[in-house]
Structure 1
Amino acid sequence: MKVPLNWLTKHLQTDASDEDMITRLTSLGLVVDAVSVPGKAFEGFIVARIVSADRHPQADRLQVCQVETGTETLQIVCGAPNAQAGLTVVLATEGAIVPSNQMVIGKAVMRGVESRGMLCSAAELGLEGDTQGILELEDDIALGTPFAQYMGLDTLILDVDVTPNRGDCLSLRGMARDLAASGVGALAMLQIRVIPATTTETLPVTLSPVAEKEACPLFMGRVIKGVKNGPSPQWLQNALRTVGIRSISALVDVTNYMALDLGRPMHVFDTARLKGGLHVRLSEDGEQLEALDDKTYILPKGLPVIADDAGLVSLAGIMGGKASGCSLETTDVFLESAYFIPRAIARAGQTTGIFSESRARFERGVDKGLVQTGLERATQLILELCGGDAGPVIQVGATKTSPQMIKFAPSSVEKRTGLFVDVSEMTELLEGLGCMVTPLEDDLLTVMCPTWRHDFVIQDDLIEEIVRLKGYDMIPSTPLPKGERTRDFFESAPGSHLRMRREWIARRTLAARGMAETLGWSFVAEEEATLFAEGAPLYPLDNPISQDLSVMRPRVLPSLILTAARNVAKGLLNPALFEVASHYEGIRAQDQKRMVAGVRLGQTGARHWRQKPESVSWTEVKADVWTLLEACGVNMDHLQLESQGPSFYHPGRVASVFAGGQLVAVFGALHPKILKAFNVKGSLVAFEVFLDHLPGEGAPKDALTLSPFQTVARDLAFVLDQKVPAQTVINLVKETDPLIRHVTIFDVYEGEGIPDGKKSLGLTYEMAPFQATLTDADLHDIMDRVIARVETATGGVLRA
């Protein structure tokens, strides 16, 4: 929200410096993201008056003007058709920079006549207005007044980040209240008087029971007859301009001003353009509204709307309809002030996609107690600016609401935060926020919360406010206790848990393999989720951020593929990405599973004259999986591989890894349908490691001990059934004798000389003795036992 300091200080009586107020706002949680001074663009521009305007001796379309600045008279050559004596204008003095084209003004000679400045049009100043003539100002402005001051732009403009729970701070009044409560000045009193009716004119208004319950508990308004709509006075135009809102007309500007000043969104209807009375209700399916943004919206059933006897005239709390909007010809209006339930406005805004200042406030929660007070204040402004006669206040719905009452134990502040605050100071701080504090028995207080603080619900909310106003920097720093309790704490900390430790290991291991970690959304588009769900049900969000993030992801891979594709589109080639995250198999806590997923896209490296890169293949992700599992302490000798996997992998290039019959990992190339669906070009391989399925850690590894004797290797080849996994054979050989340290497959052959349905598997096993050099008898004994073990377990035979 943009906050002009000169506007803020109308609600805050303070001697604090601008810097102190900015610092205090940030410490209160109202973070000041940026500070600007828009008036700097108008340095060197002042208010002046044309004393005389004579025809240029050598140019029919130019005039030689004598311009009074308040301190001197300057000669200016001007070509504007409306330049004439007595006109109050904007003068760009020597050295000024024209905002529209960045031209530097200097002394010039035009057709033989000296000119010492420039008289400016609205367009040259970067403002809306006539581009043909110079800008005409009011005659009562003091000459020499800086133009930035005249425009109200000679102030700091703060860009403040307001959190969603602080709807009360989407107003200058709310921010001033927070500053005052924290000790930066005193909150100015509001001068709002009840406007008596001077006409009996009313308008029929109805509120449907359903709308009253679900959307609008209170709707108020009044007719104002005989108004004269027109441009707003300069002070109001300036106020709106400082926050980036264009002045439209006095009637409309008053409602915008109320939203910004007091946080009270309002709307004004031209009664001459209404058909009958107003009806506050919920929309019917298919109803249409042509809104003030010149767009037509087709509404679903159940959104809060305001209609007349002919049809919709407003999407309640968000935007009015064009058909009932005010114009410069408007003479009779109905001024609306209502309270709309936040969730109803949020749903309507998300459904229609309309954003407005009104919606921003209603969906965060506005002050229920300001409905009638705001109506009186807006009525007062309209009568002052436009004249007219106000009718009686019309009300439908209930005005009385039960205030939020909280029992508060002052001692809880120190117990929860470690910060001691005296009870009297707590009371002062809470009362500064608008609370009413009453002592009870047993050292308790009853706190009646103000109507503008919807976020006050429980005692902890009050504790947070006291500490926030006192200052988070006042919370004492307390070191952890030393000794046995400290060690016990760290040994039982979540980071020491096996899965948490494995997540940390996974991050370090994959980063060491050249992969980059990502952090993605937990939800994806429905069509993307369907590709990875394997027929399982999807779990959509009730209130998604967007349709592209509407379903809980059944696997982590969709997020990674999208991220990899976006990186390639932005010029980052050959991405290798991983994420440690959850995927969702249901809506229960136990259905949220942790996994490590990774993708590699493109080639194995950048182009180089010494080594041509190759397309990434399943071997890269197999190495990722093997390195990761080994780093996590998994016994690699007990793993089994099967040439199968989910349908989103390529059927001939996928493998699943099992440990004790439990699936622990999948890796391979992704199916072409996935590449097409995600518009991915090039080779794309992936892996998934299911952390919740990993077996417990094996025995700690011994330090590497080298054999003092000569190691010996032997080669064997077996003819086996094609379905026998190579890993099964490797495990059988390793388990034959403890001297066998390494087993590798060096050949797989199917073809001539091998029976159908069979394969030849060649392997090497290496033996490392530690007691004595192996004799021929030892080697033959081990080989005989290896052959017998493999043949017995697999049904294979030694290849001749």
Structure 2
Amino acid sequence: MKFTLSWLLEHLETNASLEEITDKLTHIGLEVENIIDNTKLAGFVVAKVLEVAPHPNADKLKLCKVHDGSKTLQIVCGANNVREGIKTVLASLGSTLPESDFTIKSTKIRGVLSEGMLCSASELALAQEESEGIIELSDDYKVGDKFFNCDSVIDINVTPNRGDCLGVYGIARDLAATGIGTLKALSIPQLTCSIDSPIDVKVTDGESFISGVYIANVKNKESPKWLKDELESIGMRSISTIVDITNYIMISFGRPMHAYDAKKIEGGLTVRKANNGEKFTGLNGKEYLLNKDISIISDGKNIHAIAGIIGSKCSECTLETTDIFLESAWFDPISITKSSRQLNISTDSSYRFARSVDPGFTLDGLHLAAQMILDSCGGEVSNVVSSDNLDAKSSLINFNYHNVNEFGSVSVSPDEMLDILTKLGFSIDKKTEDIWNVYVPSWRPDVTIPADLVEEVARIYGYDKIKEEPLTGNVEVETNMHDDLRILMTSRGFHEVLTWSFMSESTAEKFGYSNKLFIIDNPFNNNFNIMRPSIMPNLLQVVADNIAHGISDLAIFEIGPVYDSLNQPKYVLSGIKTGNNLPRNHYNTDRKVDVFDVKADFIAALEFFNVNCDNLMIERAEKEYYHLGKSGIFSFKNKVVGYFGELHPSILDLFNIKQKAVGFEIILENIGNLPVNRKRFIDYKYQNVKRDFAFIINKDVETGKIINIVKRSSELITEVLVFDIYHGNNIEPNKMSIALSVTFCSPTHTLTEEEIQKESSTIVNLVCENTGGSLRLDQKS
């Protein structure tokens, strides 16, 4: 919600500074996200072209004498519409074009000095398409005035329950309740009706209210400067006086309205449910296919609006419009939310109706807007026509005011509570000494129970005044498996991240997932339209973002759900490493991370749960996003425990990652059934013995299989390491040589040569029997 400080001061009488106001807004729950300083736009002024002459050195350029209200300047201009007598916008020396880094400087153009620039609408960021000529201003603009409203713009974050604060008046009301100022009283005009409305209204959808007035013989035109300034300062495009007035009422009071070209309406308007398959073309030029759940406004022949969301192109109010029907209505928030999501339309109107618009201001808003149109555009106004009952009655809450201090842990006197609630618009009757009858105003449907009133008082009184109180009793901090895993991964140099539980369907398909059952019907963004089947794509996006910001050495992890079957979501621990394993230093040599780094992280996580990794199988991973020759799967009895390996180059290209990355994924649900090996500490006091073995085996035999065979061959083996793999000269093409270093040790005695020889023979026999390999000849000798 954006508004200027001057707009706020139209409704709030205060001497508070901008800083005081914004601080107070944040303290009462209307968080200020941004304050836009528009003083940099002060250099754009209204100027008048006094003379236009040909440029002496360029046929397409003109030499202009321009008056900016205080002095006459020489400007070189190439616009085809520049001429003597027009008013336009001058960018003075030192000013910077909006949404650009271009600063205006005194410069010579083809040998002639130019002391500024005459601007087009696109250069002023007022039009998306390139403008052909400079902007031409009406007589409403005074030479020397600043073209832009240079007032500061406040941008606040309004929570979904505070629809009343999607209007400047509601924000002013909250501020007045804090004592920072006084809310100005509204004066609602009474229309003087001189004609009857030829357009009647009717409601048949069972959930709406509609009212309106017919105004004949209006003269729609370009909006006056003050109105354009108000709207354009908050990023709204000025369209025409009538349309701009409806937008002004919407921003001022949170009351969306719509103006129809009355000559394009046949008969009356009916709010009804659409028929399945009906088509509608909106003001945005897009065609929509409707269904029976969507409320529309039609005249029996044409659809003139999707109720509360967007108007129709067929009855658009233009500068040629002479008769209008001005509508002010109330629509069900849930219905508007569903329709907006189904059609993927989000407008200023739907945003407010979905968060509940004040039903009590429906007719007041109509009177205000109609009178503004009459004052600016002339015309004759009809009586108000309406249909259905509008329930704007206040709800009643029996409130024990002692609860404020008891539950809110504040010290507020009854008089202060009464003052706060009254200024917020609540009406109070003192039923008994302790109980108040509090009538909730129509603009606060979110207040329904006594606890809500406690919150309102505490919010305005000040959350910073809540007293600190010690927790009673013994408080035990509970941890779970996920917390313990987080500590482990952090200790191994990882940083935890948290990403969305959904992703792009197209990205999921590139990772080998295409389950249509997990597509989201109404995603908040087309890049997040499927429940994620893997965390890896989200982590890769985090890696890409960090690399783009110059952070190329990274280790991140996330614990979260994935959705790849119809069962409950699986929780997975996923991690990615990229770049160097150590920061640059003069003590240790760094290196690029590789597949063995994440394999070690994988095993460390399993050993954290006392899993006996010797009983797990390691096979080649066949996931599309892992490198086929540099990845693996840990499994137990054909049940996958997880994956690890180097990410495939084509996947890295998808995220524009130009460096190697390795990752792992552990399915936490599958750890519970793994064999547990609670290793006891063994003090090996006796000398260990190392023996090297080299075997000739087929290339398709996995190294992990050989290691497992050797480890299981004897209880005296404490370590098995691969120190060489060779294939080439003197080795058959389909064979390779693998060399192992095996460490033997006994906790009870020094091993004899006979024991070592016996264990060695067992290793050779088992490896050869289970792999079809043989001991290298130089080993036999």
Q: TM-score range by the shorter chain?
A: 0.7 to 0.9
CA displacement at 1:472 relative to structure 2: 1.9
Cα separation, 2, equivalents of 1:54 and 1:725 = 91
CA displacement at 1:32 relative to structure 2: 2.6
Asked if structure 2 preserves the Cα contact closer than 8 Å seen for 1:532 and 1:554, the reply is no
CA displacement at 1:474 relative to structure 2: 1.4
Residues 296/90 of structure 1: CA separation in 2 closer, same or farther (3 Å cut): closer
Spell out, residue by residue over 1:202-252, the C-alpha distance to the aligned partner (whole angstroms, 9 max, x if none).
31323233xx33xxx111112112223233344333332332334333222
The match for 2:2 is 2
Cα separation, 2, equivalents of 1:34 and 1:237 = 22
Asked if structure 2 preserves the Cα contact closer than 8 Å seen for 1:165 and 1:455, the reply is yes
Q: Which moved more, 1:116-125 or 1:539-548?
A: 116-125
Spell out, residue by residue over 1:3-44, the C-alpha distance to the aligned partner (whole angstroms, 9 max, x if none).
211221121122323321122112222233333453553359
Cα separation, 2, equivalents of 1:339 and 1:445 = 31
Q: Which moved more, 1:32-41 or 1:249-258?
A: 32-41
Asked if structure 2 preserves the Cα contact closer than 8 Å seen for 1:603 and 1:683, the reply is no
Q: Say which of 150, 156, 160 aligns to 2:156.
A: 160
The residue type equivalent to 1:269 in the other structure is: Y
Does the alignment pair 1:472 with 2:463?
Answer: yes
Root-mean-square deviation (CA, aligned residues, Å) is 5.3
Q: Say which of 467, 483, 486 aligns to 1:500.
A: 483
**SS of residue in 2 equivalent to 1:549:** coil
Does the alignment pair 1:333 with 2:316?
Answer: no
Residues 242/621 of structure 1: CA separation in 2 closer, same or farther (3 Å cut): closer
Asked if structure 1 preserves the Cα contact closer than 8 Å seen for 2:95 and 2:103, the reply is yes
Cα separation, 2, equivalents of 1:314 and 1:618 = 59
Does the alignment pair 1:394 with 2:385?
Answer: yes
The residue type equivalent to 2:365 in the other structure is: G
Q: Say which of 593, 597, 602 aligns to 2:570.
A: 593
Residues 586/370 of structure 1: CA separation in 2 closer, same or farther (3 Å cut): farther
CA displacement at 1:399 relative to structure 2: 0.8
The match for 2:474 is 485
The match for 1:579 is 558
Cα separation, 2, equivalents of 1:461 and 1:379 = 36
The match for 1:733 is 713
Asked if structure 1 preserves the Cα contact closer than 8 Å seen for 2:610 and 2:678, the reply is no
The match for 2:586 is none
Q: For structure 1, which runs of at least 5 residues remain unmatched after alignment? A: 607-611
Spell out, residue by residue over 1:262-300, the C-alpha distance to the aligned partner (whole angstroms, 9 max, x if none).
11111111111223322323334554444333x231323
Cα separation, 1, equivalents of 2:656 and 2:226 = 55
Q: Say which of 653, 668, 689 aligns to 2:666.
A: 689
Asked if structure 2 preserves the Cα contact closer than 8 Å seen for 1:530 and 1:538, the reply is no
The match for 1:218 is 209
The match for 2:610 is 634
**SS of residue in 2 equivalent to 1:559:** helix
Spell out, residue by residue over 1:401-420, the C-alpha distance to the aligned partner (whole angstroms, 9 max, x if none).
55444454444444544334
Q: TM-score, normalised by structure 1?
A: 0.76
The match for 2:79 is none
Asked if structure 1 preserves the Cα contact closer than 8 Å seen for 2:91 and 2:104, the reply is no
Residues 759-770 of structure 1 aligned to structure 2 (within 5 Å) = 764-768=741-745
Residues 131-280 of structure 1 aligned to structure 2 (within 5 Å) = 137=139, 147-148=145-146, 153=149, 155-209=151-205, 212-213=206-207, 217-280=208-271
Residues 281/781 of structure 1: CA separation in 2 closer, same or farther (3 Å cut): same
Residues 44-193 of structure 1 aligned to structure 2 (within 5 Å) = 81-83=83-85, 102-103=103-104, 126=124, 137=139, 147-148=145-146, 153=149, 155-193=151-189
Cα separation, 2, equivalents of 1:26 and 1:417 = 19
The match for 2:527 is 548
Residues 533/701 of structure 1: CA separation in 2 closer, same or farther (3 Å cut): farther
Q: For structure 2, which runs of at least 5 residues remain unmatched after alignment? A: 57-61, 77-81, 584-588
Cα separation, 1, equivalents of 2:556 and 2:725 = 32
Cα separation, 2, equivalents of 1:409 and 1:686 = 58
The residue type equivalent to 2:743 in the other structure is: E
Spell out, residue by residue over 1:113-165, the C-alpha distance to the aligned partner (whole angstroms, 9 max, x if none).
xx9999988879959799679856459x7xxx9623xx682533223333333
Does the alignment pair 1:463 with 2:454?
Answer: yes
Asked if structure 2 preserves the Cα contact closer than 8 Å seen for 1:152 and 1:238, the reply is yes
Does the alignment pair 1:710 with 2:687?
Answer: yes
Q: Say which of 290, 295, 299 aligns to 1:300.
A: 290
Residues 606-645 of structure 1 aligned to structure 2 (within 5 Å) = 618-630=595-607, 632-636=608-612, 638-643=614-619
Q: Which moved more, 1:297-306 or 1:653-662?
A: 653-662
Asked if structure 2 preserves the Cα contact closer than 8 Å seen for 1:81 and 1:132, the reply is no
Cα separation, 2, equivalents of 1:127 and 1:758 = 70
Asked if structure 1 preserves the Cα contact closer than 8 Å seen for 2:309 and 2:347, the reply is yes
Does the alignment pair 1:509 with 2:509?
Answer: no
Residues 1-20 of structure 1 aligned to structure 2 (within 5 Å) = 1-20=1-20
Residues 465/271 of structure 1: CA separation in 2 closer, same or farther (3 Å cut): same
The match for 2:22 is 22
Asked if structure 2 preserves the Cα contact closer than 8 Å seen for 1:534 and 1:647, the reply is no
The residue type equivalent to 2:522 in the other structure is: N
Residues 509/694 of structure 1: CA separation in 2 closer, same or farther (3 Å cut): farther
Q: Which moved more, 1:646-655 or 1:342-351?
A: 646-655
Q: Which moved more, 1:92-101 or 1:227-236?
A: 92-101
Residues 713/407 of structure 1: CA separation in 2 closer, same or farther (3 Å cut): farther
**SS of residue in 2 equivalent to 1:554:** coil
CA displacement at 1:717 relative to structure 2: 8.4
Cα separation, 2, equivalents of 1:651 and 1:475 = 59
Asked if structure 2 preserves the Cα contact closer than 8 Å seen for 1:122 and 1:135, the reply is no
Cα separation, 2, equivalents of 1:796 and 1:62 = 93
CA displacement at 1:311 relative to structure 2: 1.7
Asked if structure 2 preserves the Cα contact closer than 8 Å seen for 1:91 and 1:118, the reply is no
Asked if structure 2 preserves the Cα contact closer than 8 Å seen for 1:94 and 1:116, the reply is no
Percentage identity across aligned positions? Answer: 30
Does the alignment pair 1:372 with 2:370?
Answer: no
**SS of residue in 2 equivalent to 1:548:** coil
Residues 82/531 of structure 1: CA separation in 2 closer, same or farther (3 Å cut): closer
CA displacement at 1:586 relative to structure 2: 6.2
Residues 470/297 of structure 1: CA separation in 2 closer, same or farther (3 Å cut): same
Residues 28/566 of structure 1: CA separation in 2 closer, same or farther (3 Å cut): closer
Cα separation, 2, equivalents of 1:265 and 1:193 = 18
The match for 1:665 is 642
Cα separation, 1, equivalents of 2:334 and 2:89 = 51
Asked if structure 1 preserves the Cα contact closer than 8 Å seen for 2:215 and 2:382, the reply is yes
**SS of residue in 1 equivalent to 2:474:** helix
The residue type equivalent to 1:204 in the other structure is: D
The match for 1:609 is none
Asked if structure 1 preserves the Cα contact closer than 8 Å seen for 2:486 and 2:496, the reply is no
Asked if structure 2 preserves the Cα contact closer than 8 Å seen for 1:97 and 1:105, the reply is no
CA displacement at 1:335 relative to structure 2: 0.6
CA displacement at 1:324 relative to structure 2: 1.4
CA displacement at 1:172 relative to structure 2: 1.0
**SS of residue in 2 equivalent to 1:689:** strand
Cα separation, 1, equivalents of 2:486 and 2:581 = 25
Cα separation, 2, equivalents of 1:555 and 1:38 = 45
Cα separation, 1, equivalents of 2:390 and 2:354 = 20
Spell out, residue by residue over 1:688-735, the C-alpha distance to the aligned partner (whole angstroms, 9 max, x if none).
112343359865874x9563x43223467899997994354344335x
Does the alignment pair 1:42 with 2:42?
Answer: yes
Q: TM-score, normalised by structure 2?
A: 0.78
CA displacement at 1:765 relative to structure 2: 3.9
CA displacement at 1:336 relative to structure 2: 0.3
